[in-house]
Amino acid sequence: MKKRDPLFDNIKAFLIFTVILGHMLNSVSNDVPKIDYIYTCIYMFHMPAFVLITGFFSKNVEKCRDGAVQNFLVPYVIFDLIVVVVSFLAGNQKTPFLEYLTITTPRWGLWFLLACFFYRILAKDLVKIRFVVPLMFLLGLIIPFFSDFDLYMTLGRFVALMPFFVLGLKMQPAFVEKLRKYSPVPGILVFAGCLVIVYFVLKAGWMNHATLLLRRPYSSSHQMTAMEMRLILYVLSVPMIFSLINMAPRVEIPVITKIGTNSVTVYIFHVLILTWLRKQMYFAENPKIYLVYSLVLSAVLAVLLSRDIVRKIYDGIVNGVNRMIFRKEERKEYGK
């Protein structure tokens, strides 16, 4: 068996930490400029990077399409329903249960599973399109002018992040090695430079949360401004992602690499936990303490939810449902 390359696991460990931290900071970022800057920096690259990595590991397009339902759609339906139940038990929803019970509008972070299902289904056809990378970046800028691409079936984010999926899909291992042949210094400088640009972009009012979240069409009253904001996000995201590939360590690091290896369980179960904790805004009245609390809790959740026992629970749930749905000869055991 080919030895697993720890490079992308280490990158995913960092990304999943920023995912949790971003969700933690979401509730207070609008009111605290310094936290808003951290929040903006995170959303500039973390989900584009995750989608690019998904594309990079989707090159076996036949296998990806064959396993898309069992590996992404089934887990999405299972855990979306669980989040609905948890949200009601936690008292987060006043909407009648049956009205809130829908799988066509993903709950919180679970949109990523549904988007990946669509990406994996389409990968076989996407690779056939000429100039697919620039075309998808162009479509990512144009399609939000149409109101159809909204929260429904995560169509807004699906289109907005499609350029990063095809970029990863087209990106060859040789290009990764080319980025890796340089010392980490260029990557650090480029990443830091982008963070400085983000600071001035935010200070000038050229970025807002609606643009960062990428889930809705452009506002009808500020469509061109919104498109310019998305263009800024695209322009900054790509060098930030390439910088991560350049400067990330390529050795197994205890705890860290494990977080990246099991990032899917961290992603899914942190949504359940933060859904339960949403009403418990500990330390929210003190931004500095809340930031420290968010950093610590994000790290703790990343470590705990990446443990093998949690992965076994996740695999058991998904494989158990797949065994009930699919014939034995058609099953793709998750985690195998």
pLDDT at 279: 67
Q: Where are the domains of the chain?
A: 6-330
**Per 3-state DSSP, what percentage of the chain is helix, strand, and coil (rounded to 5)?**
75, 0, 25
Q: For residues 329 and 116, what is the distance between their CA atoms, to the nearest angstrom?
A: 24
Place of tokens 């609390």: 293
For 187-204, how does the pLDDT look when each residue is reduced to its tens digit (9 = 90+)?
A: 999 999 999 999 999 999
Bigger pLDDT: 215 or 329? 215
The amino acid at residue 129 is I
Q: For residues 208 and 223, what is the distance between their CA atoms, to the nearest angstrom?
A: 13
Q: In this prediction, what percent of the chain has a pLDDT beyond 70?
A: 94
Kindly state the tokens that stand for 118: 């669509």
Q: How far apart are the first and last CA of the chain?
A: 12
For 113-160, how does the pLDDT look when each residue is reduced to its tens digit (9 = 90+)?
A: 999 999 999 999 999 999 999 999 999 999 999 998 999 999 999 999
* pLDDT confidence bin for 27, thresholds 50/70/90: confident
Torsion of CA 136, 140, 144, 148, to 10 degrees: 40
Distance set, CA 230 to CA 206, 225, 250 (Å): 10, 9, 32
The pair phi, psi for residue 267, each rounded to 5°, is: -60, -50
Query: Which residues, at least 6 apart from 201, have a Cβ–Cβ distance to it below 8 Å?
Result: 207, 232, 236
Whether this model's pTM surpasses 0.75: yes
Place of tokens 């299902």: 117
For 74-102, how does the pLDDT look when each residue is reduced to its tens digit (9 = 90+)?
A: 999 999 999 888 888 877 667 776 666 78
| Mean pLDDT value of segment 31-56 | 95
